[in-house]
Amino acid sequence: MSDWQIAELAEASIKPLDRLASEIGISFDELIPMGRHVAKVDYGRVLERLGEATRGRYIDVTAITPTPLGEGKTTTTLGLVQGLGRLGKRASAAIRQPSSGPTFNVKGSAAGGGLAQCIPQAPLSIRLTGDIDSITNAHNLAMVALTSRMQHENNYDDTRLARAGLRRLDIDPETISLRWAIDYCAQALRRIRIGLGGPMDGLEMNSGFQMAVASEVMAILAIARDLADLRKRMDRIVVARDRQGREITTADLEVAGAMTAWMVDAVNPNLMQTIEGQPVFVHAGPFANIAIGQSSIIADRLGVRLAEYHVTESGFGADIGFEKFWNLKCRLSGITPDAAVIVATVRALKMHGGGPSFKPGMKLDEAYTRENLALLEAGCANLAAHIQIVARSGLQPIVCINAFETDSSSEIACIRRFVEQNGGIAVLSEHWLKGGAGALELAEAVMTVCNRKTQTFEYLYDHHTPLRQRIDRIARMVYGADGVEYTGNANTKIKALEQDPTAATFGVCMVKTHFSLSHDPQRKGRPAGWTLPIRDVLVYRGAGLVAPVAAEIKLMPGTASDPAFRRIDVDPDTGRVTGLF
């Protein structure tokens, strides 16, 4: 059966919301029901009631460098929670809300797979409770405020502006840093021309669209500690500069309060469940290659207060997702992890070892379905890099071999030996096939590592380390680069930021391809002898992040020739959604 069919069968016996909440310690009056099987959690009431209760164990799930073959990070996150549940532990997960772009394109839903899924699947995959809609509307409201203000300033003199209670901001249209947002992969909207028609139709200028989940508003939702923190950050979003070079913010446009009004409900995490009935907090969004790519700090604050073991998920591989979890999210939340799981598959490691190229929809080459120890051993170099990344944080890496039926016993044994030789713990997990019962070895390993007293979690750099040194440290010690080269105006921007006391200690949120440890998506395995090129530096003052851009990254991905939406439909008699994967 396909994942959506498995999910549909599981939903027939889904746990009632009140029981799901009470089992984790949430009272029904702390829920905001959003249908029969999904609710928002009034996090403020829950955290106020719990106070500084004993904190549960905190686990991050990351992976090797992604391949088109898939590694199963969300599936492993949910399988681990189910495995912990089978061992009698009160466990919860925090995962990111899927973006409609990948869901209707080639990646599909982010609900997990097989017998380790988040249900109900269709609401998770399509709209959920409207958080991404709220982010899109809040973001686009800033664009409305910006473009209308520019039109009025172009058409009105200072006297007429004053009568409207406005001062002239004198915005330079060449410095606009925002684009419009939409939650689809729509490459035709990357570059557009707006304001055509005349003075009453807006100021004519170049513009474009970006993915909604790459919005700074999404980053703020992911890292805000509460609504008050979110509101303060909304004021600081920079939209452009004036003709004298001064930054123009959402506060200058007097739109930040209205933007926050869109986010009042969205700031509450969404409560769903695994197929086996453990709570899953779904909050914030994906795309760790161009954004922070983490489930929210608010969701994790809830999870570690309510559960004995709380498992959170970071986007893409350890070089991107775990690095941002380690040095950004943990620093901002004040919650330090007890364990980290690296997800790997035999077939993905074979691709890193030089296996044939593959794209979704292609027939899988026999190199990935038959035993090939030479390819596997070559690809383990990529796994070694991720083991070392996690180990640098002070945690002993747990490598979860996400099992496929084509894996041979010799291939599994090869990975186990390699991981142990490199200081990690290797476990085989069959959660996709068997649910929690297939993840017992993984759950036991996680519990063992969490209860060790010898681990000391440490950040990669001090928060006050100069910006250029932080970037260099990430490049060398995480990606394996020989150094960093600044091109274009990136060097000028870095110098200006290091002289700016309000920005010098902003978090570093790297923008880099997820398909390679390097900046080049074609370089698989563990590239050596390369330099990381930084061609631009983006500044997100609301989120408090500096984003060095390595090579070319699209803030608006494209839709493929064979997208998932071709197979998604609705049963007209029942209204059920079919064809999600």
Active-site annotation, residues:
73, 75, 96, 107, 288, 316, 404, 432
DSSP assigned state of 511: B
The three-state secondary structure class of 398 is strand
Place of tokens 């390993």: 445
Cβ burial of 11 (10 Å; 0-12, 13-18, 19+) is: middle
Q: What tokens does 262 get?
A: 């869109």
Q: Using alpha carbons only, what angle is made at residue 143 by residues 138 and 147, rounded to the nearest 5 degrees? A: 150
Q: Which residues contact 347 (CB under 8 A, 6 or more apart)?
A: 69, 355, 364, 368, 369, 404, 406
Please provide the distance, in angstroms rounded to a whole number, between the alpha carbons at the two ends of the chain: 11
Of 104, 16, 99, 74, which Cα lies nearest the Cα of 577?
104
DSSP state of 320: I
The closest of 236, 213, 232 to 295, measured between CA atoms, is 213
Q: Rounded distance, CA 198 to CA 103, Å?
A: 38
Can you tell me which residue has the tokens 């870095």?
494
CA dist., res. 46 & res. 40, Å (int) = 12
Q: Write the DSSP assignment of 215-247 as a string of letters.
A: SHHHHHHHH-SSHHHHHHHHHT-EEEEBTTS-E
